Structure formats: structure tokens, C-alpha cells
Structure 1
Amino acid sequence: MPEKLPVDRVIRESEENDYSDSKFLNSRDDIGTQLLCDAAARQGLEVHYHRRLIFEVFNDKQRVVFRQNSPGNSAVYTYCARQKQIAKNILARGGVPVPTGGMFERYGSALRYFKEADTAVTVKPNDGSSGSGVSSSVTNETEFEKAWEFARKYSRNIIVEQNIYGEDIRVIVIGGKAEAAYVRIPAHVVGDGKSSIRELVEYKNSLRMKNPSLRLDLIRRFDLLERNQTSLDLVPAVGEKVQLTTVANASAGGETVQIFDYLSQDILAVAEKAALCFPGLVQVGVDLIYTGTSNLDTETIAPAYVIEVNSNPGICDAVFPCYGRAIDIPEKLLSHVFASGTVNQQVQSPLAIDLASPYRYQEFDRAFRRGIHRQVDLIVQAAYARNLELESFSDTVFTLRSARSRCMFHGGIPEGVRMVSRKITRNRSWMADILPRSDGFDPKTTPSLRKFRLLVVGRKLVSALHIQPGEPGKGAVRAEVSDLVSPSVLPILERTLSAIFDPPLAGIEILAEDISADMQSQNWSVQDAVCNPFLGWHQFPERGVGRDVSSALIQELFPDVTDSEVPVEGVRLVIKGNVQGVGFRGWLKLMAIRHSVSGWVKNLPDGSVEAVLEGSPAGISALEKLCHKGPDAATVESVAREAGSCTGRLAFTAMA
């Protein structure tokens, strides 16, 4: 039998902690924020509170911005942690043990998977937190249907995965090191032979109200009772334990037992390895199921499986555990960030005008998909032009690597964009208060001003558009005006970037009389700023020559890769199968453009297709893989490859 953790012993020896005299008990503010502010005061740090749980902690050398419990979190890694299937893919590729399973949009497909798996499963929403919509130990079709409907209340896509049996542990990892851990016990009551379950729950909730961490998370969920058709009016026998829910989250009525002092390094190492898969997060809550140390000598069962990760873990449960000693996570977190400088806001270099190069594929707008996928296509195109390696985790999340650098993206957002910047720029009322405008600006003059969209990459203004009204019934017309921008706009951009905590990528919308004139002598107002600007607006303007802003972004993120160092190779492919009369040549031309590959393609008399390709090894390799499938109407039987010469071709031609 697996070795159990000494949870019962900790409960028995420590008894339930009493926080009835805590100053946080009746607080109406966020307790995590208060705990961090108190810890900051003890360390001689200052705090500047903004709003919406965003605040700065600083001394005379460093300034760190927090969003609730988390300092300087990457918006990309925050998104990845919240999207459970993406997080699971990242963990699995990082060598972290995770349950087997899949993500489903349709009930029929999920049900078939459940039946074929022939084992107990956990059903949960792909996008969610705090145990919302999660059902564990689902064993039959009736339970599965209820679990599916419960999860669909929170997400369109549902994860169905192997149910791992063991003890539910939350490990708090700070800077790659485990600092606290507690077991979470599902909501339950213990009978006294006289009280009903309902009465026992009421009493237990009265105790929870005396714990600052649990006072708002009363026991209200009874899914396990409903599954077992157990009435709340049942009177349990003396000492009889009745479990109420299938999940152990504190937000669902669970209780916490500090167990950090009893965990082996093997278990902590699993949590630390999981946290290191998300380098853009300083503090990570790793949820794992401990299966027992006696399983360590097997190849198929891990000592612990990571169920999910949390980018903004609650710090109160470690400070106010139901049982066991408290661990001062706020103190440890602040000590780490101020000692390591990992999230220090560095002194910024002066903003400059450094326009992106003209975009040479402007006439091939149709080669790229729409929406967020266009952002992906444009960045990947620029990456292949510099021979960067691509690793995809979903259709919008991917990592690019050079020999010395790496960066993860969600759509067009690089990992360096912080969550605090995303939160602020998506709050319209907040933005209205902080965006700069000229002295004495009169909002009544707005209709007479012109609209400009400026794109900043790093500390460089790389492109500017004049957004002009279109014809009636049509959209706006974007005209490229980068060469006209007056340097006097730079201080305005500086103020705007500072107000949104200096993201490395920003689209800034300015209303002005004349972008080429001195800004100090005219009315102007910054109307908007975003951290996920549409790159395609600048690469495919309706008027003027577009700017290759995607390449400017890649150049900023991968300074170790210069154009002169990019290797170029040539290959000749012969593709056989049903590949003529199915649009193969037109498709390959568009795919070649996406991969920054030049050359040509033509039909051969024997019914095959010949392609001569020239580009970076990474771009050629990815394009060749696509050729094994071809467009939807094609059926590829084989792809023969041989080395070709490089002639410096700059375009791709689909030959008649």
C-alpha cells in the first residue's frame, strides 16, 4: 500500500487553529493584498495602491508591481496556466507527470472517450479556477452526463482525464523553490448521533467564518451527496465521516492541513519542476495528487501527478491553515523578488523613432488567416525568416527559440507583456483616467482631430498609421504615415507607456491636429493603448507601403540573431498523388510566403508536382512537412526530397 501522509496526525496533534482574534477577520478588503502590504511594512518597503487589486511595492532601488498576490506575472503564461489543456501540454513536454485525457467540445465524443477509457475520470472546464465546474471520480454514464453539464456552465471546452487517486496537495513555489504545502480535504462533516448533516454543515460554516481565509468560502456544494442520493436531513452516527463534495478546493468547502514539513524532496521536486515550466510566473500554485512513495520503483506510476497550476495562488491558506503551523508566504515572496531582482522595473532607455522596414509581402494579404491567427502567421513568418525554431502548444500558443534566446507567445502577445498591463488596458474607465492629453484639452474638439495609431516595439516607434473614415457602409481606411511623425510625439508615448507599466509591445491611439507638427503647439489626446495591437494593420495598410512590424518585434526579442547569420538552404521536392487540378500550386505559394520561402512550383507531365524551395532550414523543414498533406482537396502519396542550389531568389512563383 502507498505510504500515506500524516494528515490525521497533524489534525489530531494541532487541533483546529483559532483565528478569532485576527485583525483580518472582519476586513472588507482583499486579505492577500493586506498580508503583502503588512509584510512590506515589516521589511521597510513602501506601497502605492492603484485600484482593482493592483499595487506597487518599492524601495529606493527597486519597484515591483503586483496584481493581487502575483508580482510581474507574464500575461502569456497567466493565460497558459488558466487554459488547462495548454498547461497540461506544457507540463507533459517538460517531463512533468500529468493524468492522461483529452479536451472535448461535443458531448458525444467525450462520452465515447469515457466509455473506451473504462476507468474513473475527472471532468472539468478547460478555462476555470478555484475548482469551479470540476467533478471527480466519475464512474458511470449518469454521473458523466451530470458532470458534463456542470462543467459546461463554465467553459465551452471540457477536459476528461484519468482520475488519480491519492491526497490532494497544493504546493506554493516561489522563484522555482517550494516554500509551502498543504493538503486539501474535501468538505465533510463528522456525525454526533444527534445532528443532521444540514445542522452539522451550519455549525462547520460558523467555524469557517472565524478563519480569515475561509470566511467567504462557506460549504454550499453537495455534489457527492446528490450523486449518492443522500439527504441533508440524514443524521450520521457518532464519529461517522460524511464527505459532501468530490473536489477538495477550499472555495468549495474544503479544509487545509499544513503538510510542508512532512513532504519528501521527491514530491517537492515534482512541484518545482512544474513551476519551472512557467518561467513567466514568479509564484505558482501547483496542485498535485500524491500517490505514495512506494510507487517510486515503478515506471508507470509517479509519486505525484500534477493536476493543474495556478498563476495567482491564494496566499491566505498557507498563512491561515485549518490545521498545522502557518507559513508566512508574503514575507518569503517579497524577500525573493527584492533579493533576486527578477521582476525589477529596470531604468528604461529613451524612446526613439526606428521605423520597421517596408513589408515585401504586402500584396499577399490572402496568404494569412484572420483575427488572432493572423497575428500568429505574421510572427511565425518573421521567425522562419531568421531560422528560429517553432514549438506549438495550441493553435494560438507557441514558443520561438534561437541558440541563446526563447520567447512564448499567445497570438501576437510576447511573454514579456505583464498581466497588469493587460488588465489596465482592458479597463475603459481606468484608461480614461490615466491616458495623457494636452494641457487644456477640450473634448468638444475631438471631432475635428485626426486619428493616428502608433506601434511601439521595445523602446522604438516602428510604425504609424493615419486612420481615415471610409466610404459610407465601409470600414476605416488606414494610411501609412510613419515618415511624417514628429519626434515631439515621443514624450507623449513615454507618458502613455509609463501609465500602463511599460509593456514591450503597444499600440497607442492618438487624436491630434497634425502628427508631423510640434505636439506642444496643438491639441492632442491619447485615446487608447493596447498590448495586443493588430500587426496586420501596419503590414497591410489600405494606402501606402506597409511596415514589417513582425520582423521588428522578432528582432527586438532575439537580438542574438542577425540577418547576416541566417543560413539558407535549397531543396527540390517532387510530390506525387492526386496533386494536380486540386489547387496545390496556389496553396503552396501561399504557404511558402507564410514560411518566408522563395522559389517556384509547377506541374509535371506524369501528374506529380515539382517545387524548388529556398529559405532558412527551419522554414524549409516546416513547409516540407505541410507538403506531405497538401491542401484539403489533395491526396499526397509521397514526397521525394533532394538538395538544391541557392540562387538568392526573392519571390515565389506558381508556374503555369
Structure 2
Amino acid sequence: MNYFSRKAFEARGVSLCAYLIALAGFQRGLRITFYNDPQLTTKVTTASDPRGTIFSLSDDKDVYFFLRSRGSLTSKEAHKSSINKWKTKELLLNAGVGTPKGIMVETGKALEDDELFASFGCREVVVKPVSGSLGKGVTTGIKSQEELVDALGNIQTRRVVLEEHVEGVEYRYYVAGGRVVAVTGREAANVVGDGTSTIRTLIMSKNKIRARNPHLSSRKIKLDKSTLSFLQLHGHDLSTVPAKDEKIYLSSAANLSRGGDSIDATHIVSEQSKEAAVAAARALNIPNAGVDIINVVRDGVEYNYVIELNSQAHIGSHSFPMKGDGQGNKVAEAIVESYFPERTEKIIEDAFFDFSYVKNGLGTGGLSGVSLPVLREGMVKKRLKLSSPHSPAVVTRHSEKIMKQTGCFGEVHSFGGGMFHMRLLAEETNAARFKEQLVKKLEDIEILEEGGFTSPIDTTVRVVNHVDDSEPNLRSSRLIVRGKVQGVGYRKWLKSAAMKKSVDGWVRNRSDGAVEAILSGNASQIAELIEECREGPRRSYVDQVLIKPTKITPKSGFRVRSTRESF
């Protein structure tokens, strides 16, 4: 999990869309405010519990409000049209956009019409409530009057839409600023056999993988009545052991909320289908929308059928698909740029904010809103290495206080032996003021080294104590370093850095792209070396350094070992 994913994971669930868009605006120097009081944002919602999903973006001239991914440039009328599946179909047809054949009927009358399936004139139909989301109440693959009656009996709504079932490949297109930014394919919930595990075990294993995904962690495969019935219909149950590489589907609907798989398909769909998505969003007058399209190829000709639009679509699936690389934060960035066309450049590429700060602030109940720091042009990353005879408590307390007074963000890293590292995100003048005031306050402090750094940074002020006074002087640590750390000389660099500090151990590549190392020696020297590992050599880019204690005692010296399979 890279740094971007780990920060997004803090906002997993209903707040993820808000976090991604707020992050895109934040990195472009916009003012971001999250609200506790929904009455402040009646343009987008009347919800009573915002839970970190209502926020605004402002450049101090214009301000726009958002509820998750839906901003105030989407009118209430357009939003209502996207919720109403029949209204959506009418607007698409009027605009000449391809959509499956369909009719709207009263649920009660439909149940009384014994010839409804035959009169509709399609071999296979889909039933969906007129209004709804997340696939609730949708039944696909209906092939008889009996199946139609069963499906209608499961829908608790006054009106339904009967739609021709179109056989093809379904994708979610995200349209922002008049173009398709990302496309995600969706596959119904499934497991793949290994020849020894039951379906129950395979589901549990897959849910563990989903639990580590910021978007899918709250969308696990459910062992409910629907799943069990589907398995039974296809001759399986939870104790079935599928053959190796045999794929067992657990649902007929390709719905992520029902445990479906998301697949990055941005670069495999046709330009024609992207044009259809843009035309659909334009037909409903929605500037930013998720558009669901089924692509069909008949006799070498592609047909695109728009089946749904969502003006408040989840954008996390495009950033964190189950399969494929994903599109990073491109969707959120395109949304922000559609509201602020002049803000196309990031002030700091990898500056982040702590979403727990937002949640904690909103959770106090006494605040109507929480505003984030504002990034300013000219901010740079500064790294300082200092020594001081003062106690770590004194140095870290004054450093933290002076950072806040001088408008600097960053981290104070305290090591043993009077050594300190500081990372600053600040304008040059503010960084200079910080150093000046710190030296003035702590006269005996000495700045040993000054430079920049490349790793990500949070716009918070915090203290990290690497060495506890109660720790023994000698210790061993196991490191897993992730990011761009292979093929860039990372192992050679670490060996050289370790030998300079008289640290024993070894380093090796792992088959999952990470670097693994064992460091053994003086606690303060190891702590300082770990801090340097967050930077690495010039060509590297470190996303994460995972540190674990270990009882391994390596031989004297430092070695580069062969690649190991990762587990």
C-alpha cells in the first residue's frame, strides 16, 4: 500500500470521495472547509449527519459546495433526473443516446398482468425500481413470466422499469469537464479455486484482500441469503471445493457493493464509447457524472447502451480498483479543475492532510466546520539535521511550538545521543525564521546539515520519538521499504550508509517490488539510519518504511543478499 493509498484509507467508506476531491483541491492551494452543519450547504444536501462528506472548495473569489463527489454546479433538477431511471431514459432517447428498450409500469398492475413478459417482446429482461442506487432491487436475467413475478414481488416500490437485457460488457465511465477521465470494468462477485479450499474459505481470503483496499474495504462479499441462493441455483454451497483456477460466481449483478470486482479499463475501451458517455452526461446536464454503459459488438460493429447515470458516483473505484493499476487521483483532479480551470498545477505534488484531524474536529460537536491549512506558492521541502545537549523533550517541545508560530508544517524526529532530524514544508522565509528562532531559543543547538527531501509529507506539526530512554542500547530491526526502490541502487546505497554507522545486517530485494533489510547495532544509529531510509538514494522514491522488531542477530558486517519471494 503506497502513501497515497494509506492516507486515503483513513477516509475509507462514505468519506472517501470527499477526501479525494478535497486532496486534489488542497494540493492546488485551494481553501478546503469541512462542515458539521448541513444547513450551511443546502445547495447540495439536507442530510442531518454529514460525517465528513460535506465540504467546500474556494479560491477566495468563488466557493463551491460538495456532498461527496457531487458539487453545486450540478443542479437539483439534474440530480433528480439521474436518480429517476425512467426520466434518465427519456432524456437519453431525446438526445439520441443509445439506451436499452424499456417501459415504466405500476408494480401492482404489473403483478396482475399475466402477459406482461410476453407483451414486452424481449427474450430476457431486467427489472429495476424507478428510483434507487447501489443495485438495490435490480434483478437481471429474467427469462419467463414466473421469474418476472418473483422479481416484482421483491421490489418495495410503487413503480418499476422493465428493460431489455443487453448482453455485453459493462463499464463505469467517469465524465468530468466534458471528457472521460477514467473507466472501470465491473465483474460480479466471484472466487477462483485453488483445488483445496472451500468456497467459504476462498470468500474469507478474498475479503481480507478487499479489507486493505480504501474503496472496497466496506464492500466485502456477503454471505447472505442472496449469495447462498445463487450458489444453490448453480449447484454449489459454501462447502464446495472448486478445482484449481475454476471461477465460481456468487451473484449475477456486477455490483461493487455486493462484492463485485473493479477492473481498470481506461485504456482498453473505444473512443466511440467515451463519446457516448460524454453525450449522456450532456443530455442530463450533469457536468461530472458516472455513466454506466454496456458495450456490444455485433458483426464487427460496436454498439453502446447507456443504462444509468450517477451524479454522485463513487470515484474511489477508479483510484483503487481490485485489478489493474488504477488512475491515482486523476478523477478528483479533473473534477476540481472543472470548477477552477486555472488551478491545473499542484503547488506540492505529494503534500497530504490528515483526515483524522477533520473527523476529530467535526466530532467535537461544538464546531460548525473544520478548515485545512492552505498551501502557498513558493513552499519547499527542507530537511535539517541538528544536535543539541538539551533533552529530547525540551528540543521537540520548542521545535513544535516554533513551527506553528512561523507557519511551518512538518515533523520533528528525535533520536538518541542528542541527534534530531526535522522535515519542514514552508516558504523559504518562514523556514529561515524557524531556524533563527530555534537557535535563539536553544542557544546550544547546532545545525549539522541542511537539504531537501523527496518523500511525501503531511501538513501537520508532529513529533516522532524514535528511541525510548528505557530501550537497551543495542537492538535489531527488520525493514520493508516500498516505492520505487528496485533498479535504482537502493541496496548498494543502504550497504554504504549502514557501514558508515557501523550497523550490521543485510539487504535484499523482494519479488513484490519492495526492499527488505535487517539492521543490528546501536539503537540511536539504527533509528537515524531508518530515517535516512525514508529518503534513499537520488533515483529512488520511498512510499513507506515498515519497521518491525526482530530477534535475528546477523553476522558482523553488512551484506547484499539475493532476491526473496515475498509472502
TM-score (norm 1): 0.46
Tell me the alpha carbon deviations over residues 554-607 of structure 1, each in whole angstroms, 9 at most, x when there is no partner: xxxxxxxxxxxxxxxxxxxxxxxxxxxxxxxxxxxxxxxxxxxxxxxxxxxxxx
Q: Tell me which residue corresponds to 2:141.
A: 137
C-alpha contact 1:191 1:239 (8 A) present in aligned 2: yes
- Which residue identity does 1:148 align to in structure 2? L
C-alpha contact 1:110 1:160 (8 A) present in aligned 2: no
What is the distance in 2 between the residues matched to 1:118 and 1:98? 15
Q: Tell me which residue corresponds to 1:285.
A: 290
Does residue 47 in structure 1 map to residue 32 in structure 2? Answer: yes
What is the distance in 2 between the residues matched to 1:175 and 1:143? 42
C-alpha contact 1:18 1:211 (8 A) present in aligned 2: no
Pairing partner for 2:269 from 255, 263, 266 = 263
Q: Tell me which residue corresponds to 1:194.
A: 196
C-alpha contact 2:116 2:145 (8 A) present in aligned 1: no
Shift, 1:54, TM fit? 2.0
Q: Tell me which residue corresponds to 1:165.
A: 167
- Which residue identity does 2:170 align to in structure 1? D
SS in 2 for 1:260: coil
Q: Tell me which residue corresponds to 2:18.
A: 33
Does residue 240 in structure 1 map to residue 242 in structure 2? Answer: no
What is the distance in 1 between the residues matched to 2:54 and 2:4? 28
Q: Tell me which residue corresponds to 1:612.
A: none
What is the distance in 2 between the residues matched to 1:63 and 1:27? 23
Shift, 1:109, TM fit? 5.4
Q: Tell me which residue corresponds to 1:76.
A: 77
SS in 1 for 2:55: strand
Q: Tell me which residue corresponds to 1:402.
A: none
Within 5 A, what are the aligned runs for 1:59-70?
Answer: 59-70=59-70
C-alpha contact 2:5 2:214 (8 A) present in aligned 1: no
Q: Tell me which residue corresponds to 1:127.
A: 131
Pairing partner for 1:209 from 196, 211, 216 = 211
Tell me the alpha carbon deviations over residues 204-230 of structure 1, each in whole angstroms, 9 at most, x when there is no partner: 111111100001011115253254353
SS in 2 for 1:24: helix
C-alpha contact 2:18 2:69 (8 A) present in aligned 1: yes
- Which residue identity does 1:58 align to in structure 2? S
The alpha-carbon distance between structure 1 residues 181 and 87, as it changes in their structure 2 partners (threshold 3 A), is: same
> Higher relative CO (CA 8 A, sep ≥ 6), structure 1 or 2?
2
C-alpha contact 1:143 1:227 (8 A) present in aligned 2: no
What is the distance in 2 between the residues matched to 1:259 and 1:182? 5
Shift, 1:245, TM fit? 0.9
What is the distance in 2 between the residues matched to 1:174 and 1:226? 42
| Residue range with higher mean Cα deviation, 197-206 or 99-108 | 99-108
C-alpha contact 1:47 1:56 (8 A) present in aligned 2: yes
Shift, 1:62, TM fit? 2.0
Within 5 A, what are the aligned runs for 1:449-464?
Answer: none
Does residue 23 in structure 1 map to residue 23 in structure 2? Answer: no
SS in 2 for 1:339: coil
Structure 2 gap segments, 5+ residues each: 37-49, 344-364, 370-567
Within 5 A, what are the aligned runs for 1:406-555?
Answer: none
Q: Tell me which residue corresponds to 1:100.
A: 101
What is the distance in 2 between the residues matched to 1:336 and 1:249? 28
Does residue 322 in structure 1 map to residue 322 in structure 2? Answer: yes
SS in 1 for 2:60: coil
Shift, 1:139, TM fit? 1.6
What is the distance in 1 between the residues matched to 2:21 and 2:115? 48
C-alpha contact 1:288 1:305 (8 A) present in aligned 2: yes
Tell me the alpha carbon deviations over residues 63-119 of structure 1, each in whole angstroms, 9 at most, x when there is no partner: 111121111121111111101011111111110111112122223356522233251
The alpha-carbon distance between structure 1 residues 286 and 108, as it changes in their structure 2 partners (threshold 3 A), is: same
Q: Tell me which residue corresponds to 2:117.
A: 114
Q: Tell me which residue corresponds to 1:439.
A: none
Q: Tell me which residue corresponds to 2:152.
A: 148
C-alpha contact 1:20 1:210 (8 A) present in aligned 2: no
- Which residue identity does 1:329 align to in structure 2? V
Shift, 1:235, TM fit? 1.6
Shift, 1:253, TM fit? 1.0
- Which residue identity does 2:140 align to in structure 1? S
What is the distance in 2 between the residues matched to 1:110 and 1:175? 45
- Which residue identity does 1:35 align to in structure 2? L
SS in 1 for 2:6: coil
Tell me the alpha carbon deviations over residues 39-77 of structure 1, each in whole angstroms, 9 at most, x when there is no partner: 111101111212322211001322111121111121111
What is the distance in 1 between the residues matched to 2:93 and 2:113? 21
Shift, 1:326, TM fit? 2.2
Tell me the alpha carbon deviations over residues 587-641 of structure 1, each in whole angstroms, 9 at most, x when there is no partner: xxxxxxxxxxxxxxxxxxxxxxxxxxxxxxxxxxxxxxxxxxxxxxxxxxxxxxx
C-alpha contact 2:31 2:60 (8 A) present in aligned 1: no
- Which residue identity does 1:313 align to in structure 2? A
- Which residue identity does 1:334 align to in structure 2? V
Does residue 85 in structure 1 map to residue 86 in structure 2? Answer: yes
The alpha-carbon distance between structure 1 residues 169 and 109, as it changes in their structure 2 partners (threshold 3 A), is: farther
- Which residue identity does 2:147 align to in structure 1? E
C-alpha contact 1:180 1:318 (8 A) present in aligned 2: yes
What is the distance in 1 between the residues matched to 2:147 and 2:176? 38
C-alpha contact 1:292 1:303 (8 A) present in aligned 2: yes
Q: Tell me which residue corresponds to 1:250.
A: 256
What is the distance in 2 between the residues matched to 1:264 and 1:335? 24
C-alpha contact 2:11 2:19 (8 A) present in aligned 1: no
| Residue range with higher mean Cα deviation, 99-108 or 119-128 | 99-108
Shift, 1:177, TM fit? 1.3
SS in 2 for 1:215: coil
C-alpha contact 1:20 1:211 (8 A) present in aligned 2: no
Superposition CA RMSD, Å:
2.5
The alpha-carbon distance between structure 1 residues 239 and 231, as it changes in their structure 2 partners (threshold 3 A), is: same
The alpha-carbon distance between structure 1 residues 26 and 56, as it changes in their structure 2 partners (threshold 3 A), is: closer
The alpha-carbon distance between structure 1 residues 74 and 100, as it changes in their structure 2 partners (threshold 3 A), is: same
C-alpha contact 1:104 1:110 (8 A) present in aligned 2: no
C-alpha contact 1:32 1:314 (8 A) present in aligned 2: yes
The alpha-carbon distance between structure 1 residues 190 and 111, as it changes in their structure 2 partners (threshold 3 A), is: farther
TM-score (norm 2): 0.53
C-alpha contact 1:114 1:160 (8 A) present in aligned 2: no
- Which residue identity does 1:170 align to in structure 2? R
Q: Tell me which residue corresponds to 1:339.
A: 341
C-alpha contact 2:56 2:63 (8 A) present in aligned 1: yes
- Which residue identity does 1:108 align to in structure 2? L
- Which residue identity does 1:113 align to in structure 2? L
